[in-house]
Structure 1
Amino acid sequence: MRRWIAAGLVAVMVGVSGCSAGQTGGSDPAPGKTSGYTLAGTELTESEFRYGLAPRPHMDVTYQPDVVLVEGGADAVRSVTADGLTWTIDAKAKGASELTPGKVMFVTSRGVGRVVAAQRAGDAIAVTIAPVEFTEVIRDGTFAGEQPVELDNVISYSSEGALWTDEAAVAAAAPATAAPAAAPVSAGAAVRPAAFTEGALGKAPAPGAGDKERVEMPRPATGAPKNTRSNGFTVVPKCCRGGVGADLTYDDSEIRIFGSFMVLMDKPRARFHLAVSGGRVTVAELQVLGGSGLKIDIEGASKVGTARQIDRQFTVPVDFSVPVGLVLGVPFSFTVTQTVLVKTAFSAKDGNVKAAGEYAINGAVGFGYRDGSWGLHKVQGPFIRSSLIDSIRGPSVGANGIILAFKTQFSIGFGAAGFSVGLNVALTVSTGVARGSALDQFFPAAPGTRDIGCRGASLTIDMSYNVGYTIPAIVEKVINFFLRVFRAKPIQRTGGIPNPPKTEKLFGATQYDPPSCAS
């Protein structure tokens, strides 16, 4: 398993000419061909729709000295892998020859990162990048949206096929990151490939005929896709006028799970302000407005009881993105990403449990930062519309329950496939529902014996925020596994300020029915 992951990476690097024509999901977009997507009255070209807007020099913005702006922007891009890490670009594009390990590539709003490897084949270069902090790209500049950015007319970018969406690849990568690093790595140094050597690719295993290769990112779509798959789950992402969320389905003939979650929103929109001076963030503000509620639906069943459970964390492999346009020549986007955690605890064969709830919230969520001091925008609520605990159903045989957590992150910045760097604020809503005698599997243990008819439900809402980037743990594991092929130092899960991102608990409550179950 590990061999085919590494070999698939090498295949991308040494077989550039084989994929540079961009045949997966359609031929290379012709220069100037329009996409049907309109931004501020101007229709994006097909290349801009696929790969993002190009940065432009501006007198009021200073880039860091190791940043390379690739001329031609989206028209210089031949293809990009589903994980967003390897970009194949035209070798003749101005700036392409400067893309050596250690430099920061900035080719489009989605193609931004520190170069860990670059391999030329014919008239194309395959460039593999790692995440960067905002201040590793911008040295000086003040950026603000004059009008609220509406989360409407979204572009859906799929990362289905990225290694972290594959169960086997995730399992293979996990042991590689379990052992501690030989020496601690700071967040700033972690994204710099100081350990890269030109011979790294030559020493990697050659791909075999049966190896699984990384796939090209498909053409994006307008609106939400019908469905996608990640780590054994069928996922139907939802966005954006009425809110953001997803439906999840899992069925392996022994365990069946259905989960649905929505952050209900009324005309979702965002305001932002970001100032950088001398490579330091001096002012940062982000407000996401329009939140109106939470809607949760959970259902699970097992035919095998304690013999096997589900315990998985995964990303929804779709980024919802709205181009903001050029702000002082820098292409910003408003992007939404989602991460899911699912855990089951069935103690009885043929056990099942189901519950649903809806809660009202209102107000903005976000943060403000100025010269070292932070302030928060917190939603009000939740206020019960329909309670989870009142809806819990399932036979009272043993103890059965499910934990479901959704993290919805709103970002304004640049980057792709969950590596967006900029202003980030996330809501994590965690729910647990259980029916049976052993509710302490889900809720804090209390003295006494709980009756078989007990029902329990918990709801927790956390807000996290930073200026920089945040990568889900499962994505970090897989990326660091294959970055070893290039002898690059491991990336950190987070970068920027504060590091790690600050987390604020907005709400937490546990209910029991009957109340005596809590004692």
Structure 2
Amino acid sequence: MARRWLAASLAVVMLAGCGIGDAKGGGDGDSGYRVGGHELTEGEFRYGLAPQRHKDVTLQPDVVLVEGGAEAVRSVTADGLTWTIDANAKGAADLVPGKVMFATARGVGRVVDAQRSGDTVAVTIAPVEFTEVVRDGTFASDGAVPLDNILSYSSEGALWTDPQAATEAGAAEPSPAGRSLPVGRALRRAPADRERVEMPRPVAGAPKTTKTNGFEVTPTCCANGVGADLRYDDNEIRIQASVKLIMKSPSARFHLAVSGGKITIAELQVYGGGGIKIDVSAASAIGHLRQLDRTFTIPIDFSVPVGLILGIPFTLSANQEVLVKTAFSAKDGNVRASGEYAIGGTLGFGYRDGNWGVHKVDGPHIKSSLLESVRGVSVGANGIVLDFKTNFRLGIGALGFSAGLNFGLVVSTGVARGSALSQFFPLVPGERSLDCKGASLTVDTTYNVGYSIPAIVQKVVNFFLRVFNAKPIARSGESPTRRPARTSSAGRSTSRRAARPDPTAPAWYMCMPGHGCA
């Protein structure tokens, strides 16, 4: 099936202006968490509700339902790829490579390997599209689904949270053609010989702090919005940032129809958006000798079980992706800025009768300006780029592997500060030189029907698929396809472009009075 990412670019243009308990089986106890008046069992709390057959829904012929659902699950790895289930559960024996496992709301995927050990079987899966699970069916919410009473699922410890392990995964040698290695041997060949860890028990509400790619992250969701506080310090580069998509009582509606294995209607609306708040500061003790360039997924999946709709256990979820790039030219330099912007309108997209549409974001409108707040002290020019993407997903599956409706809001910001020397050593005695600084803010939207994962996650997943001699996956799976679309709103500073006398100067080299300002 053709696959294309219907997305707006994450790129940001920086303009210079002068003036982010162990899983040990399902268990039979209750969790204290309720969905539609039903209290979830401990297993359902950990792994999700089980699907049920329904007269108005036709599943694809290669889909295997695992009887017992969550109660048959013993554990799942933090990356969501390997599920250990009761080998005696009805359907477990049918989980062979090529089949689609549908065990729970979160345990959905195409089987690439299944290894029995005693009374359990370890099933490794790859992401699927919704139409690979459902052949015919029409699903819609009765009303707005509130994004509250959330469960937080952590994937901390997955290999993609470690940049070194992800790099090694990309360089790893594939297994010999035609061979499918047992799970145990595959794990021993994992990058850096790291042991894959189990996904811990989820928590009700937002977690306190998690770690990924060298950052300490405190994510927040959802009554007042979705965001994260980011902290990084390696004794050479320090970053502290906070980004929040301000929302008031967020909720969502959806409509999804499949006929003959093809999407005929796909609609997702997210309500409650109100603004964007950003606070970022960065400092470097080593200047141009090293920069930081990280792209990562915050390893928390904020989820709200919608419940069964015609036997399909849908979940509404939110998760976040971050890109951070620094550009320091001098030692002991620093830059900081903060701003708040209003946005309005419904978020979301729709597909019907072969036509696509997207709700355009109203804004951003300045409440407090990033540009006016830019500060920093340095003998050289310094800057930082921060992209923050909030994904809203409605479907089946876990993490970025969720198959269904996906909508993302990307906030891209860049701030820069010129040298402070001109403030203390003006070119003309008695005159104070102009303060050179730059800032930009761009709001983009992405949307598709299928699944979508960041490049770093794709790299790690494809490492495991090579181990099992399985076909690699794309960053996104989508049906139906269309020509790429872009929706974007931007707020930027006015700029004056600088001459770049030194070919080694960074691309965002800024206007300095008397130094080649155009």
TM-score normalised by structure 2 residue count = 0.86
**1:173 partnered with 2:155:** no
- Contact 1:363 1:380 (C-alpha < 8 Å) held by counterparts: yes
3-state SS of the aligned residue for 1:291?
strand
3-state SS of the aligned residue for 1:214?
coil
2:438 alignment partner in structure 1: 456
Q: Residues of 1 paired with 2:188 and 2:218: CA distance?
A: 37
3-state SS of the aligned residue for 2:54?
coil
2:286 alignment partner in structure 1: 304
Equivalent position amino acid for 1:373 in 2: N
2:460 alignment partner in structure 1: 478
- Contact 2:115 2:183 (C-alpha < 8 Å) held by counterparts: no
- Contact 1:483 1:490 (C-alpha < 8 Å) held by counterparts: yes
1:333 alignment partner in structure 2: 315
3-state SS of the aligned residue for 1:406?
strand
**1:38 partnered with 2:34:** yes
2:139 alignment partner in structure 1: 143
Pick closer, same or farther for the CA change 1:379–1:333 going to 2, 3 Å: same
Gaps of 5+ in 2: 1-20, 421-432, 499-510, 512-516
Pick closer, same or farther for the CA change 1:509–1:383 going to 2, 3 Å: closer
Tell me the percent identity: 64
The alpha-carbon deviation at position 507 of structure 1 amounts to 0.8
**1:395 partnered with 2:377:** yes
**1:216 partnered with 2:198:** yes
Q: Residues of 1 paired with 2:348 and 2:189: CA distance?
A: 46
Choose the corresponding residue for 2:301, options 284, 308, 319. 319
Counterparts of residues 360-379 of structure 1 (less than 5 Å): 360-379=342-361
Give aligned pairs, total: 467
- Contact 2:360 2:487 (C-alpha < 8 Å) held by counterparts: no
3-state SS of the aligned residue for 2:169?
helix
Equivalent position amino acid for 2:369 in 1: S
- Contact 1:54 1:72 (C-alpha < 8 Å) held by counterparts: yes
2:242 alignment partner in structure 1: 260
Equivalent position amino acid for 2:415 in 1: V
1:282 alignment partner in structure 2: 264
1:435 alignment partner in structure 2: 417
The alpha-carbon deviation at position 40 of structure 1 amounts to 1.4
The alpha-carbon deviation at position 276 of structure 1 amounts to 0.2
**1:86 partnered with 2:82:** yes
Choose the corresponding residue for 1:494, options 473, 476, 483. 476
Pick closer, same or farther for the CA change 1:79–1:500 going to 2, 3 Å: farther
Q: Residues of 2 paired with 1:501 and 1:81: CA distance?
A: 36
The alpha-carbon deviation at position 43 of structure 1 amounts to 1.0
**1:418 partnered with 2:392:** no
Q: Residues of 2 paired with 1:202 and 1:268: CA distance?
A: 43
2:103 alignment partner in structure 1: 107
2:386 alignment partner in structure 1: 404
- Contact 2:361 2:489 (C-alpha < 8 Å) held by counterparts: no
Equivalent position amino acid for 2:25 in 1: D
Equivalent position amino acid for 1:120 in 2: R
The alpha-carbon deviation at position 170 of structure 1 amounts to 1.5
Q: Residues of 2 paired with 1:460 and 1:199: CA distance?
A: 46
3-state SS of the aligned residue for 1:409?
strand
3-state SS of the aligned residue for 1:109?
coil
Q: Residues of 2 paired with 1:378 and 1:136: CA distance?
A: 30
TM-score normalised by structure 1 residue count = 0.86
The alpha-carbon deviation at position 505 of structure 1 amounts to 2.8
- Contact 2:263 2:480 (C-alpha < 8 Å) held by counterparts: no
Pick closer, same or farther for the CA change 1:201–1:414 going to 2, 3 Å: closer
Equivalent position amino acid for 1:96 in 2: A
**1:122 partnered with 2:122:** no
Cα deviation code 1:44-92 (max 9, x no counterpart)? 1110000000000000000000000111000000000000000000001
Cα deviation code 1:189-245 (max 9, x no counterpart)? xxxxxx76456769869579x942100000000111000000000000000000001
- Contact 1:396 1:453 (C-alpha < 8 Å) held by counterparts: no
The alpha-carbon deviation at position 512 of structure 1 amounts to 4.0
The alpha-carbon deviation at position 497 of structure 1 amounts to 3.0
> Considering only aligned residues, what root-mean-square deviation do their CA atoms show, in Å?
2.4
Equivalent position amino acid for 2:41 in 1: T
- Contact 1:466 1:502 (C-alpha < 8 Å) held by counterparts: no
Pick closer, same or farther for the CA change 1:311–1:452 going to 2, 3 Å: farther
Pick closer, same or farther for the CA change 1:271–1:93 going to 2, 3 Å: same
**1:59 partnered with 2:55:** yes
- Contact 1:196 1:486 (C-alpha < 8 Å) held by counterparts: no
Cα deviation code 1:443-502 (max 9, x no counterpart)? xxxxxxxx8831100111111101100011110011111221111111111111355894
Pick closer, same or farther for the CA change 1:482–1:289 going to 2, 3 Å: same
Q: Residues of 1 paired with 2:251 and 2:181: CA distance?
A: 48
Cα deviation code 1:102-135 (max 9, x no counterpart)? 0000000000000000000000000000000110
**1:353 partnered with 2:353:** no
**1:466 partnered with 2:448:** yes
- Contact 2:156 2:299 (C-alpha < 8 Å) held by counterparts: yes
Q: Residues of 2 paired with 1:418 and 1:196: CA distance?
A: 29
Pick closer, same or farther for the CA change 1:381–1:364 going to 2, 3 Å: same
- Contact 2:26 2:73 (C-alpha < 8 Å) held by counterparts: no
1:511 alignment partner in structure 2: 493
- Contact 1:163 1:170 (C-alpha < 8 Å) held by counterparts: yes
Pick closer, same or farther for the CA change 1:45–1:204 going to 2, 3 Å: closer
3-state SS of the aligned residue for 1:240?
coil
